[in-house]
């Protein structure tokens, strides 16, 4: 995956998690920082360049948990997402596959919510 693709995906995940902006950090730096303490207690703020959803199970699994717990009885999570999880976790590149499926789900979720709001 290319860096731009990763940054776009990480930003999409951050928005999906509704991570709040870290205003204290914004005073010192021109980058947009998000408060990630509720997500990762050992970090107070991170920008999308520091997000590690694409490379760390510690970052990715809470996203998977949110998808599963917040979207019970959803046709995508009940079939595609669960099947994907059970088959990919044993592969060497499982993390990359799960990351891509998370991005795919969030795009599906955003599109579905956008059409329901109309």
Closest CA to 5 of 113, 104, 114: 104
Domains: count for the chain:
1
Q: How confident is the model at residue 79 (pLDDT cuts 50, 70, 90)?
A: low
The confidence score (pLDDT) of residue 54 equals 92
Cα–Cα distance for residue pair 100/17, rounded to 1 Å: 16
What mean pLDDT, rounded, does the chain reach? 78
Kindly give, in sequence order, each residue whose CB lies less than 8 Å from that of residue 9, ignoring residues fewer than 6 positions away. 1, 53, 54, 99, 103
Question: pLDDT at residue 104 above 80?
Answer: yes
User: Given this model, what pLDDT does residue 28 score?
Assistant: 61
Residue 7 has pLDDT above 70, yes or no: yes
Q: What is the mean pLDDT of residues 8-26?
A: 82
Is the pLDDT higher at 17 or at 44? 17
- The end-to-end CA distance of the chain, in Å, is 34
pLDDT at 5 over 90: yes
Domain that holds residue 61: 3-117
For 54-76, what is the mean pLDDT?
79
């Amino acid at each position: 995956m290319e860096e731009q693709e990763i940054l776009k995906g990480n930003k999409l995940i951050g928005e999906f998690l509704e991570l709040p902006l870290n205003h204290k950090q914004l005073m010192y730096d021109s980058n947009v920082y998000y408060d990630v303490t509720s997500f990762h207690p050992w970090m107070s703020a991170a920008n999308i360049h520091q997000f590690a959803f694409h490379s760390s199970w510690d970052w990715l699994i809470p996203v998977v948990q949110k998808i599963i717990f917040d979207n019970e009885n959803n046709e995508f999570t009940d079939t595609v997402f669960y099947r994907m999880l059970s088959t990919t976790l044993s592969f060497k590149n499982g993390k990359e596959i799960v990351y891509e499926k998370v991005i795919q789900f969030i795009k599906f979720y955003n599109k579905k919510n956008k059409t329901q709001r109309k």
